[in-house]
Amino acid sequence: MRTAIGVDLGGSHVTAAVVSDDGAIHAQHEQDLDDLAFASVVDAVAAQVTEALKDAGSPVAGIGIGSPGNIDAASGAVLYSPNFGWKDAPLGEAIRKRFSVPVFVGNDARCATLGEHAFGSGRGTSDFVLLTLGTGIGGGIVAGGRLMLGHCWGAGEIGHHQIRPRDGFMCGCGKIGCFEAQASGTGLIRHAFAVAASFPRSDLLDVGRNKLSSKKIRKAAQAGDRHALTAWGNYTADLAIGLANVIAFVNPETIALGGGVSSAGDFMLDAVRGPVDALTTMVPKGTTAIEIARLGNDAGQVGAAAMVFRGGLSGDAVGA
């Protein structure tokens, strides 16, 4: 059995895990990131990898790192990451100087897609899409058994296609009505505020604007709160538009929904499957399964390790 170190690098923490080639996690180490300067983040990654290597016991196949941003898959450089404010940051090179094993760096959402496809809800499929519905929308596309990277490593940025360019919310990328702006966890909160004037006695408004969470809205909707149900209905309508577009773009066998909002489970799936079918035209209706992702928060680490076993993100995505 081979093992690798899978690293999930986020805007607030870094996690390093010992992962075997069957997708199992054997040990994890996590550290909060208080300083997003490049040198500080490299130190934090190296510290957690060092701890994980102690747990691995035997030599590992390498270190895989999933990082936010546009990543040069060949060098492991982070060309641009708004999360960290980095440009042309040599992450792969910096970690290689610390450890005498192969190091691979890929976009975090693409790594999560690889993990979910190899060991989660996409296992056994040749055409698969993962969407993570969190603060934003991340994701990735597997087509014909291979993870799509794109001409400049930007394939899979599904969150930034526009679904409401005239009347939507402003997206962090600067466009109006991006799928991410409408259908992320942040989008659900914005939907709740957008209809708040119609529900002046809503319990959702008892907390400050900065404390209202997508989880609170979802739970209130499940409990029958009218304000939350209205926001949830508008949110899932936008989510359905984006999912139907994904089906039209790449015709996957399965779309898996991950991220915090996906914890709604069947409550979400029941709300979107019918509208998605209604919006699907050039692909036979009902032929794309829409499911909840199975690996949860572990997908990024598992996928980063899988990247090592395959010699990079561009390796064959079928089987481990």
DSSP codes of every residue in 23-72: S-EEEEEEEE-S--SHHHHHHHHHHHHHHHHHHH-SPPS-EEEEESSEEE
> d(Cα 62, Cα 211) in Å, to the nearest integer?
41
Q: Which two three-digit tokens encode residue 95?
A: 């970690």
User: In whole angstroms, how far apart are CA 42 and each of 70, 91, 144?
Assistant: 17, 7, 35
User: In whole angstroms, how far apart are CA 147 and each of 16, 67, 107, 129, 252?
Assistant: 23, 16, 12, 10, 12
| Whole-number pLDDT of residue 273 | 98
**Helices marked H in the chain:** 38-56, 91-96, 108-119, 179-183, 185-194, 214-222, 226-250, 266-279, 299-309
| Whole-number pLDDT of residue 253 | 98
- Sign of torsion, CA 34 261 126 284? negative
Q: Is the pLDDT of residue 269 over 50?
A: yes
* Residue ranges of domains in the chain: 3-107, 121-294
pTM higher than 0.85, yes or no? yes
| Whole-number pLDDT of residue 205 | 78
Q: Is the pLDDT of residue 316 over 70?
A: no
DSSP 8-state secondary structure symbol assigned to residue 317: -
**DSSP per-residue letters across 83-106:** TTTEEEE-HHHHHHTT-SS-EEEE
| Whole-number pLDDT of residue 175 | 96
Q: Is the pLDDT of residue 227 over 70?
A: yes
| Whole-number pLDDT of residue 319 | 32
In sequence order, the β-bridge partners of residue 103 are: 63
For domain 3-107, is the CATH number 2.30.42.10?
no
By DSSP bridging, strand 77-81 and strand 70-72 are antiparallel
The CATH code of the domain at 121-294 is: 3.30.420.40
| Whole-number pLDDT of residue 266 | 97
User: In whole angstroms, how far apart are CA 232 and each of 104, 160, 267?
Assistant: 39, 21, 10
Taking residues 185-192, what's their average pLDDT? 96
Q: Which two three-digit tokens encode residue 306?
A: 């899988």
| Whole-number pLDDT of residue 280 | 97
- Sign of torsion, CA 145 147 149 154? positive
Residue 317: band (very low, low, confident or very high) from pLDDT cuts 50, 70, 90: very low
Same fold, 3-107 and 121-294: yes
pLDDT tens per residue across span 32-75: 999 999 999 999 999 999 999 999 988 999 999 999 999 998 89
Q: Is the pLDDT of residue 278 over 70?
A: yes
